[in-house]
Amino acid sequence: MAGPLQGFRVLDMSRVLAGPWAGQLLADLGAEVIKIERPGIGDDTRHWGPPYAKDANGEELEDAAYFYCANRGKKSVCVDITTAEGQKIIRQLARDSDVLIENYKVGGLAKYELDYDSLKTVNPKLVYCSITGFGQTGPYAHRPGYDFLIQGMGGLMSITGEPDESDSQTGGPVKVGVAVTDIFTGLYAANAIQGALLERQKSGVGQHIDLALLDVQAAVLANQATNYLVGDMIPQRLGNAHPNIVPYQAFPTADSHIIITIGNDQQFAQFCQVLGQPELANSENYATNSARVNNRSVLCNKISDCLKNETSEHWLTCLEENNIPCGPINNIDQVFDNPQIVARDMLIEMTNSQGVKVKLPGNPIKYSRSKIDYETMPENLGASTVDILSRHDKESY
Catalytic residues: 182
C-alpha to C-alpha distances, 228 to 161, 163, 233, 321, nearest whole angstrom: 19, 18, 4, 38
- What distance in Å separates the CA atoms of residue 371 and residue 30, rounded to the nearest whole number? 8
C-alpha to C-alpha distances, 147 to 35, 49, 179, 301, nearest whole angstrom: 22, 18, 6, 35
Q: H helices of 204-243, where?
A: 213-219, 222-229
Would you call 129 helix, strand, or coil by DSSP? strand
- What distance in Å separates the CA atoms of residue 39 and residue 75, rounded to the nearest whole number? 14
Angle at 389 (CA atoms; ends 385, 392), nearest 5 degrees: 165
Closest CA to 80 of 41, 131, 32: 41
- What distance in Å separates the CA atoms of residue 163 and residue 122, rounded to the nearest whole number? 54
- Per the omega criterion (within 30 degrees of 0), is the bond before 361 cis? no
| Other CB atoms within 10 Å distance of the CB of residue 249 | 20
- What distance in Å separates the CA atoms of residue 22 and residue 188, rounded to the nearest whole number? 8
Half-sphere exposure of 94 (CA within 13 A, CB side): 27
- Taking phi first (over 0 means left), then psi (-120 to 50 degrees means alpha), and beta for anything else, what does residue 160 get? beta
- What distance in Å separates the CA atoms of residue 261 and residue 365, rounded to the nearest whole number? 25
